[in-house]
Amino acid sequence: MNLEERVLQLRTRLGEICDVSATVSMLHWDQQTYMPPKAGEGRGKQIATLSALRHRLFTSSEMTHLLESFRDDLENLPDDSRPLVEVTLYDFDRDAKLPEDFVQELAQSESNAFEAWVQAHERSEYSIFQPHLEKLVDLQKRKTDYLGFEGESYNALLEGYERGMTTERVSAVFQEIGHAQSELVQAISETEPPSYHWLAQVWKQQNQWDFGMKVLSDIGYNFSSGRQDLSAHPFTTTFGPQDVRVTTRVHEDDLFSALMSTLHEGGHALYEQGFEEADERTFLAEAASLGIHESQSRMWENMIGRSLPFWEHYLLYFRQSFPGQLDSVDAIDVYKAINRVERSLIRVEADECTYNLHVILRFELEREMLSGNLKPRDLPEAWNAKIEKYLGIPVPDDANGCLQDVHWSSASFGYFPTYALGNLYAAQLFEKILEEIPDFWSHIESGDFKPLLSWLRDRVHRHGRRLTTPEIIQQATGSELESQPYINYLKNKYEPLYGISENPSIATLSPSEGVGISTRGSN
């Protein structure tokens, strides 16, 4: 076969593999939304079978022979085909190191662990989940041995989520932002907190749902290619660019939880809906990394959804959604409330100033478990100690402690750092957005999100995995990953909000003066 015929055959085989992956994703989505409780054991077997089938298809002798035939022809490939072959070879070289029986065992163990995590979380009984976590930690250690690594073994797992990133680099960046954020949180804690008495009401679930659905549609989420549902832990899942689904959760005693989850997952979904049509059913129609994926969700949730111009636009709709409950509240009241800084236990509910501290402690804990310095049986005690260290608050039970996240039940070791990296990427991209769209905040205040979405489609979304995350950041911003833009963002937003700087009061700032983020440095 000539080169063109081999590329066509590769696309055909990748289409089959992607179809199996999409089916596995569908089973996971159903497991977390509508699956009946007793179906868990059978679902685990289904997922394990299909995961093994996907691995078998990808590492088959035919696929191996086809991919090996490209290694000496990379320079001869046309520009539109070379990224496809290079990305597939990269994934193949990692996947081929994992034995099929290991892949099947891991998938079955993850499914079993998820069901155990649900029960343990509901009952706040870590002992239910502990043996499953012990099993998964052992499997992750085996996985790092199969994959190989330089430096510490955690690098092998981090590479699967954030290609090219190292544990050493993450540690250095986390030191920088951890120090800056701890100082900011301490300064804020010494101020007199504003009154949020109006939040102490019952906010009907349906009203919250309807408002969130409107916002999700307004920002550009295509409901003809997706849907929103309820789940215990909000997530986004993709079966292809034309079927990208999100979930949220609603608490009637928390006015903003559902909306922020909807915006967050909506940001993820907009990214997935923005991949090139030509890349569908290939590995190119995927995020370059989970960090760049998270940058999209954090940008929509925090830099847009928690901005004053956003609430200047939505205040009327907000009042109409909750008749009689918000009549005395103005946009600045909402802005202050939605940006309140409080040391809290739950990562997904954490404010911007403390969020990364939640990520850093998880990063440290899973590194310790993987190295063997921390036994899973001792996780609750270690977790509580780190919460005390970073946030200075007691942990009342395991549901609000080490059982709050679903990630370890799916063996997602190496995943957590990408949340904080996403914040850094988002701030860096947003500086450039404000530079290139001078009237940006006027668009947001009028409810026009198209300029932002268009910029992101062009600079981030359409590339999929045709570019790596470092390449996307470099091309979009002109520099490599930096921590200072995010530190500047937090200082420029929260210091005036809490009156801990010489900057003017937030109440006197108009959108054009930089409410939400400043591109200037902060001393």
Which residues are part of the catalytic machinery? 265
Give the strand order in the sheet containing 243-248.
228-230, 243-248, 236-240
Q: How far apart are CA 245 and CA 235, in angstroms?
A: 8
Q: Give the N- to C-terminal CA distance of the chain in Å, as an integer.
A: 62
Q: How far apart are CA 63 and CA 157, in angstroms?
A: 24
Neighbours of 151 (CB within 10 A): 10
Residue 229, classed as helix, strand or coil, is: strand
What is the length of the chain? Answer: 523
Neighbours of 442 (CB within 10 A): 15
DSSP of 231-300, one letter per residue? Answer: -SS--EEEEETTEEEEEE---TT-TTHHHHHHHHHHHHHHHHHTS-GGGTTSTTSS-S-HHHHHHHHHII
Q: How far apart are CA 57 and CA 64, in angstroms?
A: 10
Long-range pairs, 26-30, Cβ under 8 A, ≥24: 26/237, 26/239, 28/237, 29/237, 29/245
